[in-house]
């Protein structure tokens, strides 16, 4: 016999109506329910301290991941924390991209003090605009023309002088120079006439040889003269270039001097101006070329803007980041709502010209990392991870502490043409990712780099404990949520109702939800109801109507399920008693709407090999947690009853008319009750529904969705007519979770419906069977007439039957063997 065990055999008694829903005294919150000035971060001390650390610590890697449920104020809290820290930080430097005169396909990053980039850009643009008009005018002056004419004439004179020398030497020897279509030619001359070939052939041989030798010498001198033409032309151009540079330098230096004075305290700007000066003087011919007119202008003399004139765009400044604004925090706080690769790290734009795509440094556009550099960048984690390459690009930037502009084509190695390669910009910022807990835990588990880059987790609570002080603060927050959304103020009764609904949302009478997004939606709809009623405040009736209407809009499937029960399509009994049959309670969730659905559970038993068959599992409709629950109740049976004999039971358990998956262990106590009823041949009450899980010691454990389960069975009973005997059996541990709707509380107060809490299977079976469960006495036996005694007797009967069957089967086999031997 098994040793005696201690059981809770106290009869289950119905809960008092006041325990079915937490009461909030409207008068108690009337004075406390003033709008709070603080943001709704009640109960989020852990997350607030983490955000404070992450936003103020500047060491690399201490980026923040804000995790928690939707509606808890994660985004707004992160933004407020970032803005508070940004106000204490200096404005970061401005960043620009400029043309590199040495390597044109590698634009250079130019760092300027905060607030100086835009003025510098405008100053450079104004400088080039002035020079575009001043330099061409300079080369139209008489002084320049005279000096240019002198250079040209000197060049021509030097060339002519050398040519005259060759001509004079030839004429002294009686040889003339003639211009032919093929160039220059030498020929002997007599009496001013060119000697004909026939006459030349009649000359003495010595004379002919002398003339031919002299012509050869002259041809060499002429060839040497002609070979020197490119060099002399080059020297000529250099003289002109030197003249142009000399003339331009005076105008350029004069024009730049004013800009230099304005940026004398900015070495980077002075260095860039020096580079521009050198290139302006070296490329002064750009200014004297034919100006590009603006054909769209009504003024024929109007020229294209500097930014559109391709000749001068090389000198401009492309401002990527401009900080130091008078309004807003000193450091930037950027929220990137659409974190694509281009919007995150920047992009290089292109323009189509003559069927080809062109680009230059002026088409570089900064991304969120550029704008947030020196400050804070807030991104929704889910949106970031949905975008191809964005997550890797962000990690790469945080690891290298610089931002490099890349394109999807480069990421996929699809581009083989030469494009721009902008110089990376040093990166110093704090990234705050906001996401659900599942995303955080997946990143921790699957991405080895995540923990090194995001060392701070700001974990937002789902709910906070309900206490007198928090209740007062919460009431104030309800009013502040209404005020912050421009709604009518809720009165004391409506505020109390909202607090009760907050407990309902938390699924716990002793806690209040921190999902202020859901509270705000509730108040918005109640405000509409108040407007329709012509009230200047939100009343309790407005909130009640809102709650009922929201349920009505979402409960089509629940209504169809209840209709099927009412029409006896789905079989659910709400009165009488049956052996091996019980009403279990499950929860269905469709979208954001949750409702309870009663389900008939049945059990059948016979002699067998000690197996409890879970039909849901055998048909592959049962989930692993449900299967675990069935195995636990099997363990309870084997250890509690007839432990001195082999388990000789074959039993089957099933959720009747269940055609979908079954998961969870909240019905394991109901299954056990049905099994005990089938074994003891004791009928169970059908006017009572059951929920709760069970452990191997027979303790009934808490489950989820207790409010929806109770209301689901209540609605079925109410539709058929409340008898006063109906109710629901729940785990005692779930009493603190009860936040039932007024219709259930009112019925309980009128004695027409009951909720019984139980701690053990013995308590539950006693109420369901209407007889004591029974505890083992000193003799190791259960009391006569108890449920447990009947169960143990039936199991012992199965064991004896199995033993007898095995002995009889053995005799038959022996007899058959004897006959075979004979």
C-alpha to C-alpha distance for 62 and 502, rounded to whole angstroms: 34
Which residues are within 8 A (CB) of 105 and not within 5 positions of it... i.e. 6 or more apart? 418, 419, 420, 421
Region of residue 740 (phi > 0: left; psi between -120 and 50: alpha; otherwise: beta): beta
C-alpha to C-alpha distance for 134 and 619, rounded to whole angstroms: 91
| Alpha helices for 485-533 (secondary structure H) | 492-506, 516-533
CA atoms within 13 A on the CB side of 613: 16
Measured CA to CA in angstroms, residue 92 lies from 264, 269, 347, 641 at distances of: 20, 17, 22, 77
C-alpha to C-alpha distance for 472 and 818, rounded to whole angstroms: 90
| Alpha helices for 610-705 (secondary structure H) | 615-618, 624-640, 668-680
In contact, 587 and 709? CB cutoff 8 Å:
yes
In contact, 794 and 679? CB cutoff 8 Å:
yes
DSSP string, 18-49: GGSS----HHHHHTT-PPPSS-S-TT-HHHHH
C-alpha to C-alpha distance for 188 and 170, rounded to whole angstroms: 9
Which residues are within 8 A (CB) of 126 and not within 5 positions of it... i.e. 6 or more apart? none
Q: How many CB atoms lie within 10 A of CB 581?
A: 21
C-alpha to C-alpha distance for 771 and 676, rounded to whole angstroms: 13
In contact, 69 and 444? CB cutoff 8 Å:
no
DSSP string, 546-605: HHHHHHHHH-HHHHHHHHHHHTTSS----SSEEETEEEEEEEEEETTEEEEEEEEEEEEE
Q: Which long-range contacts (CB under 8 A, 24 or more apart) does 260-269 make?
A: 262/119, 262/123, 263/116, 263/120, 263/123, 266/112, 266/113, 266/116, 266/120, 268/110, 268/111, 268/112, 269/112, 269/116, 269/120
Closest to 502 in 3D by CA, of 191, 43, 15: 43
Both structure tokens of 593 = 């709407």
Measured CA to CA in angstroms, residue 204 lies from 170, 190, 216 at distances of: 20, 15, 18
Both structure tokens of 559 = 């209504």
C-alpha to C-alpha distance for 711 and 740, rounded to whole angstroms: 7
Residues forming the active site: 666, 709
């Amino acid at each position: 016999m098994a040793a005696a065990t201690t059981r809770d055999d106290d009869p289950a008694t119905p809960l008092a109506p006041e325990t079915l829903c937490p009461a909030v005294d409207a008068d108690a919150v009337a004075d406390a329910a003033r709008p709070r000035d603080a943001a709704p971060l009640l109960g989020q001390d852990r997350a607030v301290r983490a955000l404070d650390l992450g936003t103020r610590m500047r060491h690399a890697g201490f980026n923040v991941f804000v995790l928690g449920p939707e509606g808890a104020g994660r985004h707004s809290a992160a933004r407020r924390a970032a803005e508070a820290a940004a106000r204490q930080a200096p404005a970061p430097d401005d960043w620009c991209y400029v043309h590199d005169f040495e390597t044109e396909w590698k634009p250079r990053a130019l760092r300027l003090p905060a607030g100086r980039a835009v003025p510098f850009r405008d100053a450079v643009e104004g400088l080039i605009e002035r020079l575009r008009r001043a330099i061409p005018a300079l080369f139209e002056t008489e002084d320049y023309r005279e000096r240019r004419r002198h250079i040209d004439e000197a060049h021509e004179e030097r060339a002519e002088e050398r040519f005259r020398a060759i001509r004079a030497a030839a004429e002294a020897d009686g040889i003339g120079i003639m211009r032919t279509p093929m160039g220059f030619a030498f020929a002997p001359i007599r009496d001013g006439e060119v000697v004909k070939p026939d006459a030349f052939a009649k000359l003495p041989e010595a004379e002919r040889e002398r003339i031919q030798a002299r012509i050869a010498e002259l041809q060499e001198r002429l060839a040497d003269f002609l070979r020197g033409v490119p060099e002399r032309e080059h020297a000529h151009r250099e003289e002109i270039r030197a003249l142009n540079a000399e003339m331009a330098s005076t105008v350029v230096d004069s024009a730049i001097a004013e800009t230099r004075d304005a940026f004398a305290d900015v070495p980077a700007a002075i260095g860039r101006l020096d580079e521009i000066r050198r290139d302006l003087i070296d490329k002064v011919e750009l200014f004297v070329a034919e100006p590009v007119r603006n054909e769209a202008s009504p003024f024929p003399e109007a020229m294209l803007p500097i930014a559109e004139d391709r000749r001068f765009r090389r000198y401009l400044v492309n401002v990527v980041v401009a900080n130091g604004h008078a309004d807003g925090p000193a450091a930037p706080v950027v929220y990137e709502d659409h974190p694509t690769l281009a919007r995150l790290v920047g992009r290089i734009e292109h323009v189509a010209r003559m069927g080809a795509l062109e680009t230059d440094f002026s088409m570089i556009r900064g991304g969120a990392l550029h704008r947030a550099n020196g400050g804070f960048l807030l991104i929704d984690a889910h949106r970031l991870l949905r975008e191809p390459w964005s997550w890797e690009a962000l990690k790469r930037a945080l690891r290298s502490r610089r931002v490099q502009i890349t394109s999807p084509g480069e990421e996929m190695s699809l581009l083989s043409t030469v494009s721009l390669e902008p110089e990376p910009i040093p990166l110093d910022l704090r990234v705050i990712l906001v996401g659900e807990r599942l995303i955080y835990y997946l990143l921790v588990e699957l991405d080895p780099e995540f923990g090194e880059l995001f060392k701070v987790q700001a974990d937002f609570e789902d709910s906070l404990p309900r206490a007198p002080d928090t209740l007062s603060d919460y009431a104030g927050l309800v009013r502040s949520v209404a005020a912050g959304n421009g709604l009518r103020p809720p009165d004391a009764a409506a505020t109390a109702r909202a607090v009760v609904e907050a407990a309902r949302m938390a699924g716990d009478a002793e806690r209040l939800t921190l999902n202020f997004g859901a509270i705000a939606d509730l108040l918005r709809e109640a405000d509409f109801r108040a407007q329709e009623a012509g009230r200047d405040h939100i009343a309790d009736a407005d909130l009640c109507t809102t709650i009922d209407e929201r349920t009505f809009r979402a409960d089509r499937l629940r209504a169809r399920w209840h209709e099927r029960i009412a029409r006896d399509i789905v079989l659910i009994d709400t009165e009488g008693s049956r052996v091996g049959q019980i009403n279990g309670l499950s929860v269905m969730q469709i979208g954001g709407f949750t409702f309870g659905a009663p389900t008939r559970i049945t059990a059948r038993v016979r002699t067998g090999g000690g197996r409890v068959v879970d039909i849901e599992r055998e048909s592959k409709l049962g989930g692993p947690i449900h299967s675990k629950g069935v195995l636990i109740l099997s363990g309870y049976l084997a250890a509690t009853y007839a432990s001195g004999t082999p388990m000789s039971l074959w039993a089957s358990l099933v959720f009747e008319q269940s055609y979908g998956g079954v998961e969870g262990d909240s019905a394991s106590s109901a299954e056990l009750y049905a099994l005990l009823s089938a074994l003891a041949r004791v009928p169970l009450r059908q006017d009572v529904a059951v929920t709760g899980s069970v452990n191997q010691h027979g303790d009934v454990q808490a489950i989820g969705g207790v409010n929806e389960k109770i209301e689901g069975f209540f609605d079925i009973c109410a539709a058929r007519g409340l008898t006063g005997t109906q109710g629901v059996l729940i785990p005692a541990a779930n009493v603190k979770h009860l936040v039932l709707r007024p219709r259930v509380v009112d019925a309980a107060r009128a004695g027409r419906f009951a909720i019984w809490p139980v701690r053990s299977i013995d308590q539950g079976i006693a109420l369901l069977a209407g007889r004591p469960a029974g505890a083992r006495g000193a003799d190791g036996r259960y009391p006569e007439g108890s449920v447990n005694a009947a169960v143990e007797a039936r199991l012992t009967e199965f064991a004896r039957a199995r033993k007898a069957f095995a002995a009889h089967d053995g005799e038959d086999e022996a007899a058959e063997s004897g006959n075979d031997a004979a």
